Structure 1
Amino acid sequence: MKKSKFSPSNIIFVIVIALLIIPQTRKPIQVFMHKGMALINPSEIKEDKREQVASYNWNLVDPEGNTYNFKEAQGKVVFINFWATWCPPCIAEMPNIDDLFTDYKDRVVFLLVSNENLKTIKDFKDKNDYNFKFYQSLSNPPRNFNTTSIPQTYIIDKSGAIVMDKTGAANWNSDSVRSLLEKLLKA
């Protein structure tokens, strides 16, 4: 017996490929797929492998034009995320970061940094109703933060040690991240 070329699995495969080729449907599908991957909990760097922040000489600006000098974060627990509005894994992890921010905004410094223009950043924030501030770099970040892909996220302890360094989407609102932040805040 000859097998039909139009089996249900072949039809589904062709539809999925077509949806990934069409620009209007590609991004939502990619974001959806990355949300599944963002369920992965990031892991803490072992103490003997941690690097110190090279320098606190870094200036940022928010969409309202307010500047932030990274020196203000010295001695505090810091959450830094490099991202972009066009990046599906970045978009996928933003709701988790927003939830984490809601509970830790008064005790942890959150710096979400994009190199896109400030209007694009502001429009993205307003459209998604996020609570945290987004920033753009005014100067080069410390050499520890020379990211080659996004999203790239760092958690820094009060002594300036990089405790977490994660490339790709992750579940930043997980119990393990919350437990780590609590431990760092008590230290």
Structure 2
Amino acid sequence: MKGFLKKNWSNVLFFTFLALLIIPQTRMPIQVFVQRLISFSPSEKTEAERETLQDYQWNLQLLNGKSVDFSKSKGKVVVVNFWATWCPPCVAEMPSFQKLYDSYGERVDFYFVTSEDSEKVHKFLQKNEYTLPVFIQQYKAPKQLESQALPTTYLISKTGEIVIDEEGAADWNSKKMRALLETLLSE
């Protein structure tokens, strides 16, 4: 047996890893870990690629049931993130978003938008000690903010330009992102 393991250790390790991916209780943490390893700073669109958000009419609901109109963010720097608690890349990027929100929450409007049940989302936030402003989507997002992928994040300038349109997990607390936010806030 010892000789078998010595010769086939990589195969044993590979099949053990596969088995862990099949088990639901271990699959999500492994996927989140891998997503965090491969997350990079989000990519800024070139000036020529940027669209300007035309429609700010969008009603959202806070977890406490209070209604919020997205149009209150017109003229401000805004981060909109579409996510779900069951989505490994979404969960992977949440710690970096929390750090970014802790630093910029007073100067940037953050919208973490989900279609999930508010009680489930509340438990997730509480368990992970997140203080992010989460909204339940009740109506379709403005056309330019529609996406079929989770997570999808948009960074919008004060003039409504969509500066970042990122699908998949990213490191939102990177130096590059912070420098971009500082630039947008000073405009």
Give the aligned partner of residue 142 of structure 2: 142
For the aligned residue pairs, the C-alpha RMSD in angstroms reads: 1.3
C-alpha distance in structure 1 between counterparts of 2:159 and 2:138, whole Å: 24
Q: CA deviation at 1:43?
A: 1.3
> Structure 1 length as normaliser, TM-score?
0.95
Aligned mates of 1:73, 1:84 — CA distance in 2: 23
1:18 aligns with 2:30: no
Shift of residue 4, structure 1, vs aligned partner = 5.6
8 A Cα contact 2:78 2:156, kept in partner: yes
Do structure 1's residue 55 and structure 2's residue 30 form an aligned pair? no
| Alpha-carbon shift at residue 166 of structure 1 (Å) | 0.5
2:31 paired residue number: 30
- Contact preservation (8 Å) 2:115, 2:138: no
Contact 2:114–2:134 (CA<8 Å) still a contact in 1?
yes
**Larger deviation, residues 95-104 vs 127-136:** 127-136
Q: Shift of residue 123 of structure 1?
A: 1.0
Does 1:92 pair with 2:73?
Answer: no
The percent of aligned pairs where both chains have the same amino acid is: 43
Letter in 1 for 2:83: W
**Greater than 6 Å deviation, 4+ residue runs:** none
Aligned length: 184
Where does residue 163 of structure 2 map in the other structure?
A: 163
Cα drift, residue 94 of structure 1? 0.2
Conserved? CA contact 2:77–2:157, under 8 Å? yes
* Equivalent AA in structure 1 for residue 114 of structure 2: S
Structure 2 unmatched ranges of 5 or more: none
The 3-state SS of whatever aligns with 1:158 is coil
Give how far 1:26 is off.
0.6
| Cα displacement string for residues 86-131 of structure 1 (whole angstroms, at most 9, x for unaligned residues) | 0011101000000000010110000000110111111111111112
1:74 and 1:55 mapped to 2: Cα distance?
Answer: 9
Query: Which ranges of structure 1 fall in alignment gaps of 5 or more residues?
Result: none
